[in-house]
Amino acid sequence: MEDQSHHDIRDLARFGYKQELRRALGVYSSFAVAFSYISPSTGIFTLYALGIGLGGPAFIWSWPLVALGQFIIALNFAEVSSHFPVAGSVYQWTKYLSNRHYSWFSGWIYLFAGILTVTAVDVTIPIVLIPLLNNLGLNIPNNAQTQVAVGALVLTSTTLLNIFGVRLVALVNNTGVVFEILGMVVFALVLLFFFAHQSPTVVFDTSALNAGGANPYGTFFAAMFMSLFVIYGFDTASTLAEETKNPRREAPRAVLAAVIGAFIIGAIFLYSTLLAIPGDINKFVAGTASGEITNPLVSIITGNLPGWAANIYLFVVFAAIYVCCLAIQTSTIRLAFGMARDGKLPLGRIYNRVNPTLHTPVGTCLVIGALAAVPLLYYAGAGLIAIAATGMIYLSYILGNIAILIARTKGWPKESSPFKLGSWGTLINVLGLVWGGSMLINFLWPRSSSNPPLSALPNLNLSGVVGNIPIFEATVGIIVVVGAIYYAVAQRRMPDTATIAPAEAPA
């Protein structure tokens, strides 16, 4: 019987690629990277104030709704990842299932969605780290300048870790996942059993959704952004397929396990924190909505636990968010590597070289790190960056699902794979598009809380037609226009690279 590593190398050669990256990830490491990208603690800490400030405790119901919708997407992606075990996720899938024009724009949009996500998570670190350091006796101002400085330091360190190899990244990720799973669950249960100030039925309190005569459904959809920011990136297990052992079997398992694990842990954490809110919950919600309570989760933790325990909890969350930064950047680097290797990115042939010693694309690591630093030059808050990044991800997922559905109507899949949906594939694909399309409308909806006009951003001084453009539409527009210009100049006449050799007979 052929050794699995040799089989993986031969399998990759079918797609026209030689094994350059180090194939060192097992099933747990593959799951850990995907789970770290999702990282319930990261997204929850970033947008918890938005969720509870708008929807009150009832916003928790967005969590199972989003988890179900994203699990449908994950099922579809798990099948595709079993057929295309190459670095690049949505870009690679659309390349083999659609055409080079469509796949390039899908990859271009997904690349910048990943870059924005790296930035968003980097500037989430200060939300936890600054209060932790101040609790330890330091006196660090919690302002925009400090947050940007901390984010830049985090970005520098994760870029260096990615340069020094996937084994180091896997070690940090594996450790961080243990921190997150055990830390979040243990501390959440401590809050639930010993510091439950609210009734267990508090999650049915919808008063905040109806406050001021607001449309409760519209308010709920706005409050949903916290959950939307958390549960994505599960396709990371597929993006790292060229560094995973037996990826056709293990990547789909990791994709689905990451979504399920994140849902369970996040549900426990959210429910526990809601019950642990001290005092009058309506005043707490109102204080969060008005900005009087700037960091509600930190307030809940420090308001209940002894100082030493609160600091340990904050450290656990800091470690989890840091690992999330690392995983997202790793995934984005591999996507860029896959595109540049095909000659699809500017100057990719120059910087996209795998170091023979480190087995990492050092130049690509540096390019992604530099691009992720650009949004720090104009910092409008972690929340707005997170929402723009998430919307871009959902748009990318829709583009991927459209290509997959069209391929299904033409008879795909024709080859068997370790993970298959069978006759359920088309239905799951359609449901995924319905879910993704409805959420994209949610992202596009102009509202001050989630998609304000450009003129509302501080120090931008825009007015008129440009100033009235919502920030998400502006973000997508800039990326698409720049991409279209580059594509017309450099990519339109490029040859197609989507060729797959025939499958070998089973050994």
List, for residues 165-186, the tens digit of each pLDDT value. Answer: 767 777 777 777 887 787 788 8
d(CA 255, CA 236): 8
* pLDDT at res. 428: 97
* pLDDT at res. 500: 67
Interval 132-163: pLDDT, tens = 999 998 889 888 899 999 999 999 999 998 89
Mean pLDDT for the chain overall: 88
Helix runs in 291-306, H state only: 296-304
* pLDDT at res. 134: 92
Q: Which two tokens stand for residue 349?
A: 């042939």
Q: Is residue 2 over pLDDT 60?
A: no
* pLDDT at res. 507: 37
Interval 56-112: pLDDT, tens = 999 999 999 999 999 999 999 999 999 998 888 899 999 999 988 999 999 999 999
- Judging by beta carbons within 10 Å of its beta carbon (0-12, 13-18, 19+), is residue 481 exposed, middle or buried? exposed
Task: Please give the share of the chain, as a percent, with pLDDT higher than 70.
Answer: 96
* pLDDT at res. 492: 82
| Sign of the Cα pseudo-torsion (92, 415, 14, 100, in order) | negative
Give the single-character DSSP code of 450: T
324 confidence band (pLDDT: 50, 70, 90): confident
Closest CA to 419 of 86, 107, 85: 85
* pLDDT at res. 379: 84
Output 3 or 322, whichever has higher pLDDT: 322
Domains and their CATH numbers in the chain: 45-491 (1.20.1740.10)
Length of the chain: 507
Task: Please give the share of the chain, as a percent, with pLDDT higher than 90.
Answer: 53
6 confidence band (pLDDT: 50, 70, 90): confident
Output 458 or 424, whichever has higher pLDDT: 424
Question: If you average pLDDT over residues 270-294, what whole number do you get?
Answer: 92
* pLDDT at res. 316: 87
Range in 27-36, 83-92, 119-128, 432-441 the model is least confident about: 27-36
User: How far is CA 35 from each of CA 107, 169, 239, rounded to the nearest angstrom?
Assistant: 22, 14, 13
Collect all residues with Cβ–Cβ distance below 8 Å to 348 and sequence separation of at least 6.
339, 340, 341
* pLDDT at res. 111: 95
* pLDDT at res. 386: 86
73 and 297 in contact (C-beta within 8 Å)? no
Range in 32-36, 122-126, 330-334 the model is least confident about: 32-36
Report the DSSP beta bridge partners of residue 447.
Answer: 451
| 178 HSE (CA, 13 A, CB side) | 7
Bond prior to 413 in cis (omega within 30° of 0):
yes
Question: If you average pLDDT over residues 442-459, what whole number do you get?
Answer: 87
Placement of tokens 């359609």 in the chain = 430
* pLDDT at res. 46: 84
d(CA 109, CA 418): 29
Closest CA to 221 of 86, 409, 460, 58: 58
505 confidence band (pLDDT: 50, 70, 90): very low
Question: If you average pLDDT over residues 433-459, what whole number do you get?
Answer: 90
* pLDDT at res. 498: 58
d(CA 372, CA 403): 28
Helix/strand/coil for 196: coil
Give the single-character DSSP code of 354: B
116 confidence band (pLDDT: 50, 70, 90): very high
406 confidence band (pLDDT: 50, 70, 90): very high
